[in-house]
Amino acid sequence: MQANLEVLEGLVRRLDISVPMDQLEIEVQGRLKRLARSVKMDGFRPGKAPLSAVTRQHGAGVRQEVLGETLQARFGEAVQANKLKIAGYPRFEPKAGETGATAMTFSASFEVYPEVKIDDLASGKISRPAVELTDADVMKTLEVLQKQRRTFESVDRAAAKDDLVKFDYQGTINGAEFEGGKGEDFSAVIGEGRLLADFEQSMVGAKAGDSKGFDLTFPADYPAKELAGKAAHFEVQMKDVQAPVLPAIDTEFAKALGVEEGDIEKLKAEVKANLELEVKRRVQTKLKEQTMELLLQKSTLDLPQSLVEMETDRLMRMTEADMQSRGVQTMKLAPEMFTGQAERRVRLGLILAEIVEVNKLTAQPEQIRTLVEEQAQSYENPAQVMQWYYQNPERMQEIESLALEENVVAWAAGQAQVEDVKTSFEELMGRA
């Protein structure tokens, strides 16, 4: 059998593979004979059907199977002989006019992995947030935990921000009712954004038993397109105003948060440890985002379209599955919606793989264990979570990928100009 390599445009290559008919036929006949010893056919006991009958019924399928396996095997041999790195899958086609009595000839078209060129990163700039946690940050977090455990009590006063209000409402547009414009016993906390800002603001100052009318205009980007940009009038009947009651930060509060002995100082220490872990994650994320952008700017490579198509299909299927899991009515998604994202992911994947290989940035067992421990710290039983990770190959592959990304980020930071920028915890969290 022979295979000739042809270089086409860009990353596309073609191998012509010649398969001798006599060798193909020997394998086909051998399989048919083995099949005849066990196959069940009408009118014959199992394994007693004549070879001619087995050939008539199964010959075409066996021949196609043998041909497919032979092409794959010879293609693999040719790839190794030519030291090719295949991207995607080959497409086999018979060569017109070149199949005779002695041989069948096929062409296998495919793409190879590109050469990745990465320029010097010395001129690249990366900003690294430098965060120092304070006691005030710990207290703010405790206040958030307080708010999450608040209760509400009815009060005889006007509604204000953070109050839970219960009301009936009726909305009209040009005097006519509209779908979704009427509700009874509706509850919302003023200031949480569940209602339109103008609607919330109009509730402020109303007491239980009050009726109030007001006008507002729906935002131009309002999700319900039939209401977007339209002016409406609402009549509201306030039924109850409830003020928030925060639990005291005491022994019972600490116990409710998992500190069995109710030690407030221990609670603060645990909160600070969790914040430090979150800071580490956020800083690493920001470094990663900047590093990836820098590598994209400094790298040159051709994209294998076969890999882009595969990634596009994967992203599309993931989106469809996610929509179905959330009960969203599925619609036919166009591949073009995901092409840009797929191209970016493939490009970054090739760049990272090149850096890891050239610089030998393999993930070390202790590094992987540290990452697993960090992932497990967020759960009540870290040891059990760690065991779950180590027993799940897919999860461990994700952890290894994270470790490789960390190694690439550290490598890039050693090449580029890194500036530490003093940042508050609130700024890092996007709450400044």
125 strand-pairing partners: 417
Q: Are the C-beta atoms of 110 and 13 separated by less than 8 Å?
A: yes
CB atoms within 10 A of CB 122: 8
Q: Residue 61: name the closest of 35, 80, 37 by CA.
A: 35
Residue 326 has pLDDT above 90, yes or no: no
CA 338, distance to chain mean position in Å, is: 13
Q: What is the tens place of the pLDDT at every residue in 334-383? A: 899 999 999 999 999 999 999 999 999 999 999 999 999 988 887 878 89
Q: Are the C-beta atoms of 367 and 361 separated by less than 8 Å?
A: no
Going by pLDDT thresholds of 50, 70 and 90, the confidence category of residue 1 is very low
**Ramachandran angles phi, psi of 3, nearest 5°:** -145, 125
Mean pLDDT of 112-129: 95
The H helix count followed by the E strand count for the chain is 12, 13
Query: Quick one: 125-131+280-425 is in which CATH superfamily?
Result: Trigger factor, C-terminal domain (1.10.3120.10)
pLDDT at 309: 95
Q: What is the tens place of the pLDDT at every residue in 195-236? A: 999 999 999 999 999 999 999 999 999 988 999 999 999 999
Residue 241 has pLDDT above 90, yes or no: yes
**Residue extents of the structural domains in the chain:** 2-112, 125-131+280-425, 151-245
Predicted TM-score (pTM) of this structure: 0.74
**Ramachandran angles phi, psi of 219, nearest 5°:** -60, 155
State the maximum Cα–Cα separation within the chain, in Å, rounded to a whole number.
Answer: 99
84 strand-pairing partners: none
Q: Are the C-beta atoms of 335 and 313 separated by less than 8 Å?
A: yes
Residue 427 has pLDDT above 50, yes or no: yes
Any idea which architecture 2-112 has in CATH?
2-Layer Sandwich (3.30)
pLDDT at 242: 97
417 strand-pairing partners: 125
Going by pLDDT thresholds of 50, 70 and 90, the confidence category of residue 432 is low
Residue 179 has pLDDT above 80, yes or no: yes
Residues near 419 by beta carbon (within 8 Å), at least 6 away in sequence? 125, 126, 127, 128
CB burial string 256-274: b at 16+ within 10 A, e below: eeebeeeeeeebbebbbee
What is the average pLDDT score of the chain?
A: 91
**Count of residues making up the chain:** 432
Q: What is the tens place of the pLDDT at every residue in 273-304? A: 999 989 999 999 999 999 999 999 999 999 99
Q: Where are the alpha helices (DSSP H) in 233-362?
A: 251-256, 264-298, 305-325, 336-359
- Domain at 151-245, CATH class: alpha beta
Residue 2 has pLDDT above 60, yes or no: no
Cα–Cα distance for residue pair 147/151, rounded to 1 Å: 9
pLDDT at 98: 59
Stronger pLDDT, 5 or 123, i.e. the higher one: 123
Q: Is the dihedral of CA 287, 293, 296, 298 positive or negative?
A: negative
Residue 44 has pLDDT above 90, yes or no: no
